[in-house]
């Protein structure tokens, strides 16, 4: 373990915002890169909003993204408690220090902090030297007796031995308040790194919880790969300075540095997110892919109960190179697992316009019924023989109707392997069912 101690200090609001998630991620990356400690501290001072469920959303999201913490809720640690609501004694003790220093005074029923009047110099790891004068004394305890954010934040960072404060740029202007406080406690100032904000993809301003893609819960629900979401989030505001984009997390940890962090804020791009997700999906081991796909299929109600592992994996071998997301996998390969699939009406109409599907399907059914060695090669031979019997070189004329009859769709995996995997009985039965549709 190195000396580095970083923290993520969210306040549980009932949702996990993408911007918060990225702040957590950058802290986590830095901790893992340096062999330091990643602390999760819960800023649950707002009694009204802080429910058990709200905390759970946060914890689920963190776990889903694979951002494990070394100290915090469920983990404990030597610097607890890790809930601000349980640290009141510590705050009050520190208020007394400031009072003794002559840096805190009462006014209008509240407690004010007396600023030094000196410009605060922040050596920011991302932005370089930033200088700002904190002009006015500010409130550290409200008239209702509760301590305010700036005060508790500094006291917590100080007492928890935080060495690096990595947070959103919206806190850059607040930093002069914080350095004033650290100095007043005669405590060393942590190293700051202010990371850019994530802006909404269209229109002005930062992502708000109402924007599409703003909440980690959405990605969980839509069966995005957590590693892909995490990868994309890394790329929003950081890059390894070469052209690599889709990378394993170990590589990102290895390459991560503040010099690679962007100064300007970045717009969220759902298309790129989807692309990274697809790329990540393609790179999965077939076993992993099959397992995840089966979860998605089960959620969609396509799979009920157990499925034969070998069959599942064979189907997924066809699907993996072509599918672009797990949220649509049920549409793409659902018919492999259930007879309860629907025929695409547009395709039905198109087939009727183009020729006589009933006749075509009847011919295919007869041709395939006599195939005993049910392999793609033999099926190819049977189709070719059928074509040649009708004076055609290639059997392409029979393909669209066949695909439609067995899958209900106009597109999908390669037809012959598809038929092979589906098996003779199902194919013959579905050809018959297809004929009845007209």
Q: Is 322 in the site for RNA (CB under 7 A)?
A: yes
Chain centroid, CA 37 distance in Å: 23
> For residues 132 and 334, what is the distance between their CA atoms, to the nearest angstrom?
60
Q: For residue 343, state whether it binds RNA (rule: CB under 7 A).
A: no
Of 4 and 265, which CB lies nearer to RNA in the complex structure? 265
Is 394 an active-site residue? Answer: no
CA distance 397 to 383: 10
Contact between 299 and RNA per CB under 7 A: no
Q: Round to whole Å and give the CA distance between 68 and 52.
A: 20
Q: For residues 406 and 431, give the distance between their C-alpha atoms in angstroms, rounded to a whole number.
A: 6
| Contact flag: residue 53 with RNA (CB under 7 A) | no
**Residue nearer to RNA on the CB measure, 4 or 174:** 174
DSSP H helices, 136-221, are: 149-159, 175-184, 216-221
Among residues 140, 133, 126, the alpha carbon closest in space to that of 179 is found at: 133
Distance CA 359, CA 251 (A): 57
Does 379 help bind RNA (rule: CB under 7 A)? Answer: no
The DSSP code sequence of 190-236 is PEEEEEPPEEPSSSSSB--TTSTT-BHHHHHHTT--HHHHHHHHHHS
Within 10 angstroms of residue 204's Cβ, the number of other Cβ atoms is: 6
In whole angstroms, how close is the CB of 199 to RNA at the nearest point? 7
Give least dist CB 68 to RNA, A: 23
Task: Choose the binding region for RNA from 107-115, 218-226, 290-298, 384-392 (rule: CB under 7 A).
Answer: 107-115
Q: Which of 36, 213, 408, 413 binds RNA (CB under 7 A)?
A: 413
Under rule CB under 7 A, which residues in 246-285 are in contact with RNA? 260, 262-267, 269, 271-272, 274-275, 278
From the list 69-77, 183-191, 286-294, 392-400, the region that binds RNA by CB under 7 A is 392-400
Of 63, 209, 322, 375, which residue is the catalytic one?
209
Quote the tokens at residue 209. 């919880």
Q: Taking CB under 7 A as the rule, does residue 349 contact RNA?
A: no
Q: Does position 241 bind RNA by CB under 7 A?
A: yes
Out of 74, 144, 250, 308, which residue is the one contacting RNA (CB under 7 A)? 144
Three-state SS string across 103-122, please? Answer: CEEEECCEEEECCCCCEEEE
Phi/psi region, residue 109 (left: phi>0; alpha: psi -120 to 50; beta: rest), is left
Strands 37-40 and 266-267: unpaired
Min separation Cβ 323 and RNA, Å: 6
Distance of CA 280 to the CA centre of its chain: 12
User: Contacting RNA (CB under 7 A), which of 412, 422, 431, 435?
Assistant: 412
Interface with RNA includes 142 (CB under 7 A)?
yes
Nearer to RNA, 56 or 208 (CB): 208
Are β-strands 5-8 and 37-40 bridged in parallel, bridged antiparallel, or unpaired?
parallel
Q: Tell whether residue 94 is a contact of RNA (CB under 7 A).
A: no
Asked whether position 396 contacts RNA by CB under 7 A, the answer is: yes
Per CB under 7 A, contacts with RNA among 118-137 are 127-128, 130-133, 136
Q: Is the peptide bond before 81 cis (omega within 30 degrees of 0)?
A: yes
Contacting RNA (CB under 7 A), which of 148, 183, 249, 253?
Answer: 148
Runs of H (alpha helix) within 102-202: 149-159, 175-184
Q: Least distance (Å) from RNA to the CB of residue 312?
A: 17
Nearer to RNA among residue 36 and residue 333 (C-beta): 333
User: Which amino acids are annotated catalytic?
Assistant: 209
């Amino acid at each position: 373990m190195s000396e580095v101690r970083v923290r993520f200090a969210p306040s549980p609001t009932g949702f996990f915002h993408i911007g918060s998630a990225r702040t957590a991620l950058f802290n986590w990356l830095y901790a893992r890169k340096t062999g330091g400690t990643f602390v999760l501290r819960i800023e649950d001072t707002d009694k009204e909003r802080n429910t058990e469920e709200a905390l759970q959303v946060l914890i689920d999201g963190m776990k889903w993204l694979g951002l494990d913490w070394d100290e915090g809720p469920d983990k404990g640690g030597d610097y607890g408690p890790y809930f601000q609501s349980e640290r009141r004694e510590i705050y009050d003790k520190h208020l007394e220090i400031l009072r003794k220093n002559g840096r805190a005074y009462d006014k209008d029923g509240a407690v004010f902090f007396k600023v030094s009047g000196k410009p605060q110099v922040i050596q920011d790891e991302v932005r370089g030297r930033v200088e700002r004068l904190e002009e006015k004394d500010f409130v550290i305890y409200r008239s209702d007796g509760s301590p305010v954010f700036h005060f508790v934040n500094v006291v917590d960072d100080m007492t928890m031995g935080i060495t690096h404060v990595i947070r959103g740029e919206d806190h850059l202007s607040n930093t002069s308040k914080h350095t004033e406080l650290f100095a007043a406690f005669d405590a060393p100032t942590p190293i700051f790194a202010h990371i850019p904000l994530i802006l909404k993809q269209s229109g002005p301003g930062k992502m708000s919880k109402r924007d599409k893609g703003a909440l980690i819960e959405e990605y969980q629900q839509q069966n995005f790969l957590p590693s892909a979401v995490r990868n994309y989030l890394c790329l929003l505001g950081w890059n390894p300075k070469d052209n690599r984009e889709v990378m394993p997390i170990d590589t990102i940890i290895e390459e991560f540095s503040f010099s690679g962090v962007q100064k300007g804020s970045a717009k969220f791009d759902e298309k790129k997110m989807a692309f990274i997700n697809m790329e990540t999906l393609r790179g999965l081991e077939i076993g992993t892919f099959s397992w995840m796909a089966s979860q998605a299929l089960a959620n969609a109600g396509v799979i009920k109960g157990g499925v034969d592992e070998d069959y599942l994996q064979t189907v997924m071998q066809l699907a993996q190179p072509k599918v672009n997301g797990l949220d649509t996998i049920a549409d793409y390969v659902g018919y492999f697992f259930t007879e309860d699939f629907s025929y695409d009406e547009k395709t039905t109409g198109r087939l009727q316009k183009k020729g006589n599907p009933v006749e075509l399907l009847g011919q295919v059914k007869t041709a395939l019924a006599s195939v005993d060695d049910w392999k793609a090669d033999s099926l190819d031979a049977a189709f070719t023989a059928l074509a040649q019997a009708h004076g055609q070189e290639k059997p392409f004329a029979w393909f669209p109707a066949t695909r439609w009859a067995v899958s209900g769709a106009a597109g999908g995996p390669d037809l012959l392997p598809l038929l092979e995997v589906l098996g003779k009985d199902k194919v013959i039965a579905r050809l018959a069912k297809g004929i009845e549709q007209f």
